[in-house]
Amino acid sequence: MMNKCRLIFILLIFLSFPIFAQRIEQRLSWNVENAFRYEIILQRMEAGRFVPYLVDSTTVQSLTVSLFPGFYRFLVIPYDVLDRASKESDWIYFQVTSLQPETEEEITETEEERREREREAYRSLPPLSARIGAAWMPFLPIHGEMTHYNSLSMNIHVGFISKTDKNIKIGTEMAVFRYSLDSPHIPLIDFQYNTDLSVNMLALIWAKEEKAAFVFKIGALFPIEPSGRSLQFNVGAAVYWRLNNILFLETGCDYSTLGSNGFLRPNIGLSLIF
């Protein structure tokens, strides 16, 4: 759809304000065919580079903003009736200048305004999010016959997260584990590896602005290779740390069983949530 997108103009309408007003209003306008809503990403140049300034959504083909004098750029992402994003537009560059002399105090952004702008710069996750990533997950035996620690373990995980409340989301997770329980004294080339499939239910409690989340999960691990092993129980907790709009650092710990053995599995990894 975006190859038909024609950003016709940027209409900056400067409204009349009293002489003591700190900022004036501008209107950003565009023309995109067959779009249900639009997401606008606005950036401002600071210290020679563009940094996130504002992310907003609207159902009309214009957005009224109140900007300090400076250099800016924005792009538009259209969404269809199923809330699926189409190809984003090119960046549109423009400059906001002062219409009348202003003191330094009048054009200086306050610390509170700066923090509010930075909070708004993060894109809110959609109601239904996909998650994919990988983690390092060593085994720490805590009871049973297994007595040695083994660090040769990792998983690749995928899942979906759906919004149920303002700050709470639930979802499912599937992970493929590849690990060995052999003694570390055995040569590496002789290690026998196990493969399990984990299926978990997740509950996520997001912190403010969705910059971090506390995660609790419960489920089971199904042995794949070698066969004949018993079903494993799994429960865990983690913290998701948001590194940028879609990249998250995950840290946590799981507890799982294997027959009469019990393991703690601390983990650290990266995930994309989009």
Contact in structure between 95 and 49 (CB atoms under 8 Å): no
Q: Residue 130: what pLDDT? A: 85
Spatial distance between the Cα atoms of 126 and 123, rounded to a whole number of angstroms: 9
pLDDT of residue 27: 86
Q: What digits encode the pLDDT tens for the residues 198-234?
A: 899 999 888 866 778 899 999 998 888 887 778 888 9
Q: Cα(73)–Cα(92) distance, rounded to whole angstroms?
A: 5
How far is Cα 227 from Cα 231, in angstroms, rounded to an integer? 11
Section 146-153 average pLDDT: 73
Nearest to 273 by CA among 163, 132, 155, 85: 132
Is the pTM value of this prediction over 0.95?
A: no
Q: Residue 254: pLDDT band by 50, 70, 90 thresholds? A: very high
Which pLDDT belongs to residue 124?
A: 62
Q: Cβ contacts of residue 260 below 8 Å, gap of 6+? A: 143, 144, 145
Q: Whose structure tokens read 């940094």?
A: 51
Res. 81: pLDDT tops 90: no
Domains along the sequence of the chain with CATH: 2-120 (2.60.40.10), 128-273 (2.40.160.20)
pLDDT at 11: 38
pLDDT, one tens digit per residue, over 87-111 is 888 888 888 887 655 444 444 556 6
| Range 202-211 burial, b when 16+ CB lie within 10 A, else e | bbbebeeebe
83: phi > 0 → left, psi -120 to 50 → alpha, else beta; which? left
Whether pLDDT at 34 is above 80 = no
Q: Tell me the mean pLDDT in the region 6-15.
A: 38
Residue type, 165: D
Tell me the C-alpha distance between 41 and 253, whole Å.
36
pLDDT value, residue 80: 84
